[in-house]
Structure 1
Amino acid sequence: MEILALRSCSITQAKIMGTIASISGALVVVFYKGPTIISASPESPSPSLLPLDSSQTNWIIGGLLLAAEYLLLSIWFIVQTQVMKSYPAELIVVFLYNLCGTIISAPVCLLAEGNLSAWRLRPDIALVAIIYSGFASSFSTVVHTWGLHLKGPVYVSNFKPLSIAIAAAMTVIFLGDALYLGSVIGAIILSIGFYAVIWAKAKEELKEEYCCGSLGSSSDGKTPLLDSYKGEGM
């Protein structure tokens, strides 16, 4: 767990301010557009032409479900970090995680889609999408678990807001979407917060290594140089 010392520790203040800046930058990217810096290419679809079949109520329910998902994901990162301390085997933990997820989601999927013909696999783009989704999901879970084992939940969670800015940049580069001023401002704020948290975590690790080194040198039976000099003088 993270140690908070708001008044006496600049590292804690940097982590808190960096986290707030990262979340604020992500919100700016999502909710604020501003003037257009790079216009969209003619091939890219216009947002007004996209089909909107869902009602406003469904959008609200979807947003609440996504908020609940990321809240539970943050709790899962903390639990998974404690699991990795007791059982540091990333591949086995990820296998059991995916196995339990499959066992839980299988009855729900069958209830949601009762037509058995819809579950038939055919050699088309749908099969490629299923294979890619399974591989990408398993690989990302392994990377997240490995990062939790090495750095902890704060370090891994800090990359979540950064993915919004990366997605905005990728849509401009590969899909030809328009680049807005809000995306640039939000990405700058997000990057500042991201590097603030990374700096604070690096300083915290150096401090812990220094403290562990000091304790190790004093507990191995060796007397520090200054104390031995005082002992010889007496």
Structure 2
Amino acid sequence: MTGDQRQNFMYHDVLPFVAMVTMECTNVGLNTLYKAATLRGMSYHVFVVYSYAVAALLLFPAPFFSIRSRVLPPVNISIVSKIGLLGIIGCTSQIMGYTGIIYSSPTLASAISNLVPAFTFILAVLFRMETLSFAEKSCRAKLVGTVVSVTGAFVVTLYKGPKLIWGQTSSRANSPSVLHGGTQSNWALGGLFLTSEYILVPLWYIVQTQIMKEYPAELTVVFFYNFIVSLLAAVVGAFSEPDSSAWRIKPNIALASILCSGVLGSGLNNSVHTWALRIKGPLFVAMFKPLSIAIAVAMGVMFLGDDLYLGSVIGATIISIGFYTVMWGKANEDATKDEVMNSDSSSLPRSPLLQYYKDDENVDVERS
């Protein structure tokens, strides 16, 4: 492997994997902090408005100082309208998700979120971002790996089995009344809201990938996205939270949750997801959704003293097998594309004019 090939492998394969795993671990911590803040009375409408506003404020210099933005055309109405559509999808999915949890429970939300890779694969095929050819082993690997990973995620969520490691959590935390939100919840309506959310999330991936093809400046796009979501959430929050006292944030865990979520979640997490969508595509990003459940289980056992059950171990193993099957399929697909591109370029005549054009094209790529 030459130096250029090693650098390309690190940038296009190793770095996206490490970045996505890091973001999923970060999201587990952010979710824990958010739950602690809402238990003390913070409204999720207020949380969404402020956290996205913090992210937009943090990324405000991006359109002016981004090196990539300088070599791209100015932001036009078409790009802004697509980012606006992205903001509507993101804001709606947030509202759907939180409303679904109110009517059901986080357990049901976790179970339905496992369908994100399947929904993403279907939408990616419909939008011709992924190929569906059973004659190719890479396509079969992606399809089988997606199904296996989703199955493993459902095992982690819905099956406990015998306890393998005794943690320090109370018995009440594992009781059915806590896990399933009580008898007053409307599970059918909650499931409908949650299913709507996790159909919108893959759609967010698809639209964001299309935007990246037209305007590949991650920080600029994420800034406009966060700004639009904050405005839309403020409009919704003005009707859903008319009490002005709910909008006053004191310097406590609520403020810490908003700042951490704004910087690490809405800001950094969305930027990394957008970059990974441009580099690897929507299916790669979606596959980390069930993997995050295994990460949450592992972090809960190591840092929070949670109990470890046999179902979690079996499910995490199945998730890993499915995940790496998809990654293997993507790697083989990328290798096949590289071989085709190299064979096509090597078959071209080496005239001086063509060589000058290729050198000029390489310079443009490096500048971008």
Decide: shared fold, TM above 0.5. Answer: yes
Trace 1:117-128 onto structure 2 (pairs within 5 A).
Answer: 117-128=245-256
Work out which of the residue numbers 324, 344, 349 in structure 2 matches 1:215: 344
Deviations, residues 81-128 of structure 1 (Å, cap 9, x unaligned) = 111011110000101111111111111111111101111122222211
Q: How does 1:178-193 map to 2 (within 5 A)?
A: 178-193=307-322
State the AA in 2 paired with 1:150: I
% same residue: 49
Structure 2, unaligned stretches of length 5 or more?
1-128, 352-368
| 1:164 CA drift (Å) | 0.6
Q: How far apart, in 1, do the equivalents of 2:183 and 2:269 lie?
A: 30
Which TM-score applies when normalising by structure 2? Answer: 0.57
Select 1:92's aligned residue among 203, 220, 223.
220
Give the TM-score, by structure 1 length. 0.88
Residue 41 (str. 1) matches residue 180 (str. 2) = no
The amino acid that maps onto 2:296 is A
Partner residue of 1:166 out of 295, 302, 319: 295
Write the letter of the residue equivalent to 2:344: L
The number of equivalent residue pairs is: 220
Q: 1:144 to 1:54 in 2, by over 3 A?
A: farther
Residue 80 (1) aligns with residue 208 (2): yes
Q: Which of 129, 138, 143 lines up with 1:11 in the alignment?
A: 138
Name the counterpart of 1:141: 270
Instruction: Quote the Cα distance in structure 2 between the aligned partners of 1:17 and 1:208.
Output: 21
- Once the two structures are TM-superposed, the CA of residue 76 in structure 1 deviates from its matched residue by 1.3
Runs of 4 or more off by more than 6 Å in structure 1? none
C-alpha displacement at 1:167, in angstroms? 0.6
Check whether the contact 2:276–2:285 (CA below 8 A) recurs between aligned residues: yes
Paired with 1:11 and 1:146, the residues of 2 have a C-alpha distance of 23
Q: Contact conserved, 1:43 with 1:176, CA < 8 A, in 2?
A: no
Q: Does 1:197 align with 2:338?
A: no
In the alignment, is the contact (CA less than 8 A) between 2:169 and 2:306 conserved in 1? no
Confirm or deny that 1:31 pairs with 2:141: no
1:87 aligned partner, one-letter code = Y
Unmatched 5+ residue regions in structure 1?
A: 223-234
RMSD: 1.9
